[in-house]
Amino acid sequence: MCGIAGQVRTDGRGVERATIDAMCAAQEHRGPDSRGIHVDGQAGLGIQRLRVIDLETGDQPIYNEDRTVAVVLNGEIYNYRELRSGLERRGHTLATKGDTEVIVHLYEELGADCVNELEGMFAFALWDDRRRRLLLARDRVGKKPLFYSERSGALSFASEIHSLLADPEIPRDLDLSALDSFFAYQYVPSPLSAFESIRRIPPGSMLSYEDGRVAIERYWRLRYEPQPVPEGPELHDEIRRLIRQAVTDRMISDVPLGAFLSGGIDSATVVAAMAEASVEPVRTFSIGFEDEEWNELPNARMIAERFSTAHEELVVKPNLVEMIPKVARHYGEPFADPSSVPSFYVSEMARRGVTVALNGDGGDESFAGYHRYVTASRTHRIASRLPGALRRGIGALGSLSEPRGDPTRPANRARRLASSLGLSDRDRYARGMELFTPAQRTRLYSRDLEDRLSGEPEPRLIETTWDHGTADDLINRMLEVDVNTYLPDDLLVKVDIASMAYSLEARSPLLDHRLMEFAAGLPGSMKIHGAERKVVMRDALRGWIPDSILDGPKRGFGLPMAGRWFRGELRGYVTEALTDPTAASRDYFDRAYVSELLDRHQDGSRDNSMKLWALLMFEVWHREVVD
């Protein structure tokens, strides 16, 4: 795992080595083992390397035989051994023993189509000196980030926003449309960033920069098209085979390797497959909290004992006043997934013992593990049985009242159900994924911000993705939306930044594209049965993973925010951060509405914890990055 950066100029000016050096230094945490820089007049590439494969000869940049092609890579190419063998048979001379070198030689043969041969998690930059051409590419699912900034006569790129901002030519003006999207979804969606001058390359895409022109092409997209499905045991055998293969591929490492272990199905499955493939006990790492409602250590301990791992665990007593600014700073833009905090803690813990950690990310998005899929499916069935006028009438009545207290209370669930009955499946799902609704954002924003947003399009990320989907059933359409939005722009961002903050490489076997393609070809009815989630995956894992794990409730990487933190130990910190003169001076928000959110949460009449968390992370980010 590494951090890459660089610049290409077409304005006649040469790239300054000091600029590339500064961009690398800004993301040294991603790769503290070595820094490599290539500057060739018009082009400059840089890398901060974390040595994982080929420790002796693998430092980058890497070149082809005549040094006319140079590449820097963030990530891993898991099929590099097979690719190396093929290249050598076809007459290429390889100077290293690692994975990065296959890219330059495949490029010599296939040009930009070389990306289709690569299996892994990666973001790479390749400079073709003969054609004066830059290629930037991200892996299929979007595990590794890549940002760029284009202006007249130059293009700069980097793995992190901080690195791009080390280029003094890049403006720091905020993208208000992106910030509007943040308050809608808790994250800034691709291809936007929080800064007008910076964009991110979408997952499964390649950017080419030649003769001063940018072109972006999507080379892979997950298709939800029905495929022939094996029956009975053959289906379960194929799921287990794909999981085992994905895990084995990701155990290639020349440095210590382990796994994050929660109390859930996905991480248990990864650890089970690792234990089968390893001659030594797998090293596993778990964290928990003193609050038993959020503590999964007992389940993690049971899995560790079942598969005889070398297990380490830590009960976290978070110092949030110190951790929150660090988290906000590392993400480089507003990011309000609260599970980023435990992700930082478990990464810090694991890095003390290993350099690479496998995780269970991706199972929920392929096999339908979230409660919202069940809720949407049930609501669809209810709505389809009611006349349209009745649905709309019930929806209007449900919208008249607001939830009170705990959102999981039966009365609040009934209100949400009623208010959504008059909506289409698409709009119902979009509403469920919103943090602040359009009406709430109107109340939140100051008059000045509303005026500045006037004319900007409303965030419609979910609706647009839904409309462009290929899935022909409701469950798979929701999965398709999540795979193209929530997964790459929230979950994968969360893990990449949290792990790389501690120079830890995180790998996700359940996001292997072959496993995802197989799962996408299964009908949604195999994934959700009534209130049961992940049905076909659970059935495939019977006898391998303990039934108590397979049949246990989904808890997620949660935090005791609503009560213990925001009404207890963090109450003063949150109130001060959101109401002090520094926050008030920005004139982004209606101060009365912010105070109302605080008051209604702290008196227990509303659960505004997620909204307050987003406002807090925005304010702290502004102080740490913008100010």
Between CA 228 and CA 71 the distance in angstroms is 40
The two structure tokens encoding residue 215? 């072109």
How far is C-alpha 368 from the chain's CA centre? 17
CA angle, 384 as apex, 381 and 388 as ends, to 5°?
145
**373 Cβ partners below 8 Å, 6+ apart?**
475, 478, 479, 527, 528, 533
Name the nearest CA neighbour of 473 among 173, 224, 283: 224
Which of 1, 2, 350, 423 is labelled catalytic? 2
> Given its phi and psi angles, is residue 54 left (phi above 0), alpha (psi -120 to 50 degrees) or beta?
left
The two structure tokens encoding residue 129? 């000196």
8 backbone dihedrals φ, ψ, rounded to 5°: -130, 135
Question: Do 591 and 579 touch, CB atoms closer than 8 A?
Answer: yes
Q: Following DSSP, what letter does each residue of 488-537 receive, concatenated?
A: IIIIHHHHHHHHHTTT-EEE-GGG-HHHHHHHHTS-GGGT-BTTB-SHHH
Between CA 140 and CA 520 the distance in angstroms is 14
Measure Cα distances from 129 to 5, 15, 24, 63 in Å: 17, 14, 22, 11
Question: Do 106 and 83 touch, CB atoms closer than 8 A?
Answer: yes
- The alpha-carbon radius of gyration of the chain (Å, integer) is 24
Between CA 383 and CA 420 the distance in angstroms is 9
Between CA 507 and CA 354 the distance in angstroms is 13
The residue assigned the tokens 């813990």 is: 349
Q: Indicate the residue type of 555.
A: R
β 43-49/2-9 pair status = antiparallel
Q: Following DSSP, what letter does each residue of 574-609 receive, concatenated?
A: HHHHHHSHHHHTT--B-HHHHHHHHHHHHTTSB--H
Measure Cα distances from 337 to 443, 445, 560 in Å: 22, 21, 13
Question: Do 390 and 370 touch, CB atoms closer than 8 A?
Answer: no
Q: Is 131 exposed, middle or buried (0-12, 13-18, 19+ CB in 10 A)?
A: middle
> Buried b vs exposed e over 36-72: b needs ≥16 C-beta within 10 Å?
bbbbbebbbbbbbbbbbbbeeebbbbbbbeeeebbbb
Question: Do 321 and 382 touch, CB atoms closer than 8 A?
Answer: no
Between CA 515 and CA 457 the distance in angstroms is 36
**31 Cβ partners below 8 Å, 6+ apart?**
1, 2, 3, 47, 48, 49, 50, 503
24 is catalytic: no
Residues noted as catalytic: 2
